[in-house]
Structure formats: C-alpha cells, structure tokens
Amino acid sequence: MFKVKVYVTLRESVLDPQGTAVKNSLSKMGYEGVEDVRIGKYMELMIEDKGQDLESAVKDMCGRLLSNPVIEDYRYEIEECVVS
Amino acid sequence: MKFAVIVFPGSNCDVDMYHAIKDELKEEAEYVWHDSESLEGFDGILLPGGFSFGDYLRTGSIARFSPVMKEVEKAAKAGKPVFGVCNGFQVLLEAGLLPGAMHRNESLKFICKNVSLKVENNETMFTSAYDKNEIISIPVAHGEGNYYCDEETLARLEENGQIVFTYHGENPNGSVKDIAGIMNEKGNVLGMMPHPERAVDPLLGGADGLKLFKSILKQWRESHAVKA
C-alpha cells in the first residue's frame, strides 16, 4: 500500500483573496511580520500496489482532477506503508 | 428547436432554465440527467447554475467528468450552441471548452443581486438580438465568479471578440477585465456568471435575458430554413 500526499497551491501569479483575509486577521491579532499567507489544499490518497506505474498515475490524477493547471501548481510525495 | 437542460447532482437553476425555454421562448426543452450517454436529437445544450457535486474540490471539477460531458464536447465540436450559466460556466471552464479558470470572489462573499452588463459583442449567435454596447440588467448569484486567465489568453480573447459580456459600473467579483461572459473561438460555446434565465419576465423584475435565448433561436431558424 502507498500513501500519496498531494499538495495543491495557487500559482504565484494568481491572487489569493482567502490568504489575504487570513493575513489581515493575523495582523489584527497582533502577530508581527506576517507578510503573506497563501492557502492551498492537502490530500492523502491510499493506493494499493498493483504493480502499476504509480508515479505517472499520480501525475495524471493531479493534472486532470486534483488540481487545475490554469491557476494551481501541485507537488506530491509517495510513501510506502504497511497495513496491519 | 429542442434544448437539453443538463442536470447534475446539485444543479438548482435547471427549473429556471427549463421555464425560460418552455414558457417564455416557447420552444422544446427536456431535462437530461448527468449520466446520460446521448444528446441525440437536441439542437442546443444548456448547463444550468447550482452547486454540482456540492462544489467539492473546485466548482465544476467533478461534474466535468460526468458521462454526459463527452456528449456536450461532441455537440460543441459539431457547432451546436452550448450555453453554461454560473455553475454551468464553471463546468465549461473545467472541461476546457472555454479558456481560463474561476476562483473565489475578491470580497469572499456570496453575491446575490442585479448587476448591469454591457454587451461587448453582439455579432454572436447568443447576442444578435442586442445592440452593441447595450446595457442590460441581469441577476448574479455566486461565490466563485472571479474569472481568471493569463495575459496571453486575455489578449487572444480580446483579439477574437470572445469577451461577450462585461460588468458595467461595479465589478461584483474581481474578474479580470470585468469579464462576465466569454465564448470559444468558434463562437458556439458561451459561459457567463449572470443568470439571463432568471430575467425573462417583466413580472419577475426584468426581461433583459430573453433576447439571449431569442438570439439562439433566430440563428437556429436561419441555419435550418428551407431555401427556395
């Protein structure tokens, strides 16, 4: 079994109104020096080892559904895990 | 003319769309469930607003893989009019039938009110009944109508006259260049955030949206007229 951790973030060129609202809130709470907040998504996929080309399957999933390449970037980590 | 009103789990403007066609335009309309694998016999495809699949992940991102979308793509390729409103627009963007992407309104608020739109291009099958630069009043109701595209795409949209509607006066969501609605290069796929199907009867606050449906019908009649 593999655990795939997928991180989806907004492209740098894209404004993040949610991140801006959170940044402003942190400033109001008194935290100094918070210059930028960007909000993204974190997903965990459990994938059974069927001898498939996991790497290319994950890339495919990320490009087609898990992220929108027009406004988002993604990265992922694949971990092998033992299921008891 | 026979229209398909595509219904996804979570669509909620399908009935308004049906009403606009059936009772105001007085043409045929039929609901088509999202797992249908055929759109045969339909002359126009309508993707209504709502919250398909709960807006999970990204608006329109899951609906875009519904079986019916393959048929919508085919209809678009065949040159049939395909029109997406609000969530329907978001689905068309996710499907790549229109360029760009949608994200959260700049204000982070859900906006529900009438807005003024400017008809930027009236030489389309969707807007021929309007005057160029005509200002019309149409309601919006969305939380994610902040249209985004990169500069290269924007230049292409402008050059080809693909920007069909812009917000006039106040931009409610922060969209690039005040964009409210765009079409594909071929001119047969239109997506817009405002809801013309909710503006088809003066009794309900205005009928500025009806001309859009009349334009589609006019184009269809002209292209199907029996030539003597």
B138-159 pLDDT, tens digit each: 999 999 999 999 999 999 999 9
- Beta strand pairing status for B101-103 and B146-148? antiparallel
| Residues B105, B172 contacting (CB under 8 angstroms) | yes
What is the Cα B46 distance to its own chain's centre? 7
Percent of chain B with pLDDT over 90: 96
CA distance A17 to chain B (A): 6
Percent of chain B with pLDDT over 70: 99
pLDDT in the model for residue B225: 83
CA distance B56 to chain A (A): 11
pLDDT in the model for residue B131: 98
Q: Rg of chain B's alpha carbons, rounded to an integer?
A: 16
SS3 state of residue A10: strand
Is residue B195 annotated as part of the catalytic site, yes or no?
Answer: yes
Query: Would the pLDDT of B166 be above 90?
Result: yes
- Taking alpha carbons only, the member of B193, B84, B179 closest to residue B145 is B193
Query: Would the pLDDT of B53 be above 80?
Result: yes
Query: What is the residue whose two structure tokens read 């020096």?
Result: A33
> What's chain A's length in residues?
84
- The larger pLDDT score, comparing residue B32 to residue B228, is at B32
Contacts of A52 (CB under 8 A, 6+ apart): none
Nearest neighbour of B61 by CB, restricted to A17, A21, A68: A68
Q: Which of the residues B71, B94, B120, B197 is marked catalytic?
A: B197
Query: Would the pLDDT of B44 be above 70?
Result: yes
Domain of residue B141 covers: 2-224
pLDDT in the model for residue B227: 63
* Cα B106 to Cα A28: distance, rounded to the nearest angstrom: 20
Distances (CA, A) of B3 to B30, B43, B46, B224: 6, 6, 7, 15
Query: Would the pLDDT of B97 be above 60?
Result: yes
Give me the CATH number covering residue A35.
3.30.1280.10
Mutation target for B interface from A12, A38, A45, A70: give the one with most B CBs within 10 A. A70
Nearest neighbour of B108 by CB, restricted to A10, A21, A71: A21
How many structural domains are present in chain A?
1
Cβ separation A17–B61 shorter than 8 A: no
* Cα A3 to Cα A83: distance, rounded to the nearest angstrom: 11
* Cα A65 to Cα B58: distance, rounded to the nearest angstrom: 9
Domain of residue A64 covers: 2-80
Q: What is the pLDDT of residues A53-76, one digit of tens each?
A: 999 999 999 999 999 999 999 999
pLDDT in the model for residue B204: 86
Dihedral of the alpha carbons of B201, B182, B41, B13, in degrees to the nearest 10: -40
How many structural domains are present in chain B?
1
Is residue B86 annotated as part of the catalytic site, yes or no?
Answer: yes
Cβ separation B104–A17 shorter than 8 A: yes
Query: Would the pLDDT of B228 be above 60?
Result: no
- Taking alpha carbons only, the member of B66, B96, B92 closest to residue B81 is B92
Q: What is the pLDDT of residues A10-55, one digit of tens each?
A: 999 898 989 999 999 999 999 999 999 999 999 999 999 999 999 9
Here the tokens at position B123 are 């030489």
Which pLDDT band, with edges at 50, 70 and 90, does B28 fall under?
very high
Give me the CATH number covering residue B135.
3.40.50.880
Q: Which of A16-20, B51-55, B165-169 has the lowest mean pLDDT?
A: A16-20
Nearest neighbour of A68 by CB, restricted to B65, B94, B108: B94
